[in-house]
Amino acid sequence: MPFAARSPLAPPVGAEQLVWHVLAAFPTALYLHHPERGLLPLVTAEALALPTAWRLPDSSTRMRWGVAAGDVIESLDHCILLPAGPVRAVRTWRPARVRRSGSYAVELPPSWAADRLGGGRGLTPEGDDEICGALLVAFAGHDTSIADAVLPQLDRTTALSASLVRAAAQGYAVPGLVAYADARLSGNRAAAGAARHAVEDIGHTSGPALIRGVEIAIAHRQIHQSPSLTKEPARA
User: Per-residue pLDDT tens for 70-113?
Assistant: 999 999 999 999 998 999 999 999 999 999 999 999 999 979 99
Q: How far is CA 160 from CA 41, 42, 117, in A?
A: 8, 12, 13
User: Is the model's pTM score more than 0.75?
Assistant: yes
pLDDT tens digits along 150-192: 999 999 999 999 999 999 999 999 999 999 999 999 999 999 9
Question: At a CB cut-off of 8 Å and minimum separation 6, what does 28 contact?
Answer: 43, 44, 46, 47, 60
